[in-house]
Amino acid sequence: MNSLQSLPNFAAVILAAGKGTRMKSDLPKVLHCVANRPMVAHVTHTASQLNPSHIVIVTAPQMESVLHAAQRITPTCLHAIQPQQLGTGDAVKAAQSALKNHKDATLVLYGDTPLIRPETLAQMLQATLHSDIVVLGMRPKDPASYGRLIVNEAGELEEIIEFKDADEEIRAINLCNSGVMAISGKAKLFDLLAQLTNNNANGEYYLTDVVSIARSKGLHCSVVEATEAELMGVNSRAELAQAEAIFQHHMRQHAMQNGATLIAPETVYFSADTQIGRDVIIQPNVYFGEDVTVGNHVEIRMSCHIEGAHIGDDCIVGPFARLRPGTTLAGDNKVGNFVELKKAQLDMGAQASHLSYLGDAFIGKDSNIGAGTITCNYDGYHKFETHIGANAFIGSNSALVAPVTIGDGAIIGAGSVITKDVTPDALALTRANQHEKIDGAKAFRIKKNQGNS
Ligand code: UD1
Ligand code: CA
């Protein structure tokens, strides 16, 4: 964000006390994920990009899981508990003690509105330099039950009227309240909140009423508008899928703008934190889980599942490869079809081209892992490590029983079961010697054929 310098200091308050009953879930609504990141963490992450002095998440009691999920992405988040869900105004009041010495602007956000962009929030905060309260409005195709924004001829916001409290004339207004609000320090948010009543159709303390209270004190209120897609709130699984689709679309566009080729973009799934380099080619049906980085000049072929993995420059991954957490490809690596890597580090140029499991393993520079190699890393109780040096050659269908070290330049004969360390440059093999009986096959067939006649 380059316009950061001109932003006023502010605190962000994120409302997340709602149960979200329409999700039909045991999980609080805001913990449902978009691009593998809980919705509430999308909001805290977006707010944190603008450097707020505080981020306070308001939840109902017994919702520490919401705070913890947000803190994984935004460690500085604070928690406020709203004992009873008495309305959005009451929810913001719950943040008061967490913001005791806070005198600057306050930005109120909802935890279930994950697509909001930092640019929009910056625009609102900038507007608080001239306006005491700034409300984020939208003009949805179907204004449905949103609160309506009443704006006068001068373009000033006069009032917000909730759908349930509105008559037909008000309901015909299509400028709606998204719920996001920025309140300048001068407007003294908590003084305004102290004046709220619950004398309305819902019997709730409406945050939206601070606008008319502010107006009655001669304060100035205004509207900033954004698109309906950016401001969509998630209330159901279907809306969650819609938010996911919008977010994935943005991630794909972003990857392409940064120089990646997506052959079939709509089949590639990113996580919110996926980082893709330049000149990366991604074939169809690739899934990126959390915590993946991909360097430059990388080709990811069809149908790979990649999570918790760091792929260096000039690698070829897949088709059909699975990279699990703790995997690093240093660069110039090849990981081919039906190869599974878990906590595996491949040094520069190391290759595993076919049908392998490499878990808890280090593979040295330029080493080659033959087809069907398995690191036996688990004895049913504990995990053990395999260390393979540089320029080693592991013959096909070998089992490396960990803990075990294969020295630099060693060769493992195909089909070996290696249980002891192998010294550098040694040839190790555990196969039984091959025996041959001249004409033995012929003799066998003659015997069998005699039996049949
Ligand atoms: C609210 C706005 C409405 C706006 C709409 C946009 C009010 C009074 N109305 O209505 O103008 O068009 O959002 O979506 O503000 N929450 C709490 N504690 C509470 C109540 C709510 O934390 O006691 C949280 C919810 O978890 C949710 C958010 O506040 O994240 C909004 O609450 P909700 O009840 O959905 O508000 P609406 O009635 O939709
Ligand atoms: Ca709502």
Our mutation pick for probing the ligand 1 site, out of 15, 27, 88, counting the most ligand atoms within 8 A of Cβ, is: 88
Q: Is the CB of 159 under 6 A from ligand 1?
A: no
d(CA 140, CA 214): 26
Residue that is written with structure tokens 């604070």 in the block: 78
Q: Is the CB of 28 under 6 A from ligand 1?
A: no
Which ligand gives the minimal distance to the CA of 173?
1
Distance 112 CA to ligand 2 centre (A): 8
d(CA 82, CA 93): 8
d(CA 406, CA 413): 12
Q: Burial level of 366, CB count in 10 A (0-12/13-18/19+)?
A: middle
Q: Is the CB of 87 under 6 A from ligand 1?
A: yes
Q: Is the CB of 176 under 6 A from ligand 1?
A: yes
Percent of the chain's residues with pLDDT above 70: 99
Higher pLDDT, 287 or 451: 287
8 A C-beta contact, residue 271 and residue 303: no
Residue that is written with structure tokens 């041959």 in the block: 436
Neighbouring residues of 319: CB distance < 8 A, sequence distance ≥ 6: 283, 301, 302, 303, 304, 336, 337
Residue that is written with structure tokens 């004190």 in the block: 217
Q: Is the CB of 177 under 6 A from ligand 1?
A: yes
Distance 88 CA to ligand 1 centre (A): 5
Residues designated catalytic: 354
Distance 179 CA to ligand 1 centre (A): 7
pLDDT digits (tens, 9 = 90+) for 208-228: 999 999 999 999 999 999 999
pLDDT digits (tens, 9 = 90+) for 5-31: 689 999 999 999 987 899 999 999 999
d(CA 372, CA 410): 18
- Please tell me the predicted confidence (pLDDT) of residue 242: 97
Closest CA to 108 of 265, 356, 450, 116: 116
3-state secondary structure of 419: coil
Respond yes or no on whether the N-terminal peptide bond of residue 424 is cis (omega within 30° of 0). no
Which ligand gives the minimal distance to the CA of 202?
1
Q: What is the CA radius of gyration of the chain?
A: 30
Res. 2 pLDDT band, cuts 50 70 90: low
d(CA 198, CA 446): 99
Which ligand gives the minimal distance to the CA of 210?
1
Residue having the nearest C-alpha atom to atom 2 of ligand 1? 179
Q: Locate 70 and state its tokens.
A: 């947000």
Q: Locate 232 and state its tokens.
A: 């969509």
- Please tell me the predicted confidence (pLDDT) of residue 20: 87
Residue having the nearest C-alpha atom to atom 22 of ligand 1? 17
Which ligand gives the minimal distance to the CA of 88?
1
Q: Is the CB of 318 under 6 A from ligand 1?
A: no
Distance 359 CA to ligand 2 centre (A): 46
Strand ranges (E), 194-255: 221-225
Q: Is the CB of 111 under 6 A from ligand 1?
A: yes
The neighbour count for residue 94, using CB atoms within 10 Å, is 21
Q: Is the CB of 402 under 6 A from ligand 1?
A: no
Higher pLDDT, 242 or 144: 242
- Please tell me the predicted confidence (pLDDT) of residue 451: 73
pLDDT at 1 over 80: no
| DSSP state string for 103-163 | -SEEEEEETT-TT--HHHHHHHHHHTTT-SEEEEEE--SS-TTPPEEEE-TTS-EEEEE-G
Res. 160 pLDDT band, cuts 50 70 90: very high
Cα dihedral 186/187/190/191 (nearest 10) = 110
Nearest atom within ligand 1 for CA of residue 145: 12
Cα dihedral 291/297/298/299 (nearest 10) = 140
pLDDT digits (tens, 9 = 90+) for 271-288: 999 999 999 999 999 999
Residue having the nearest C-alpha atom to atom 3 of ligand 1? 147
d(CA 275, CA 323): 15
pTM for the model stands at 0.94
d(CA 319, CA 306): 12
Q: Is the CB of 91 under 6 A from ligand 1?
A: yes
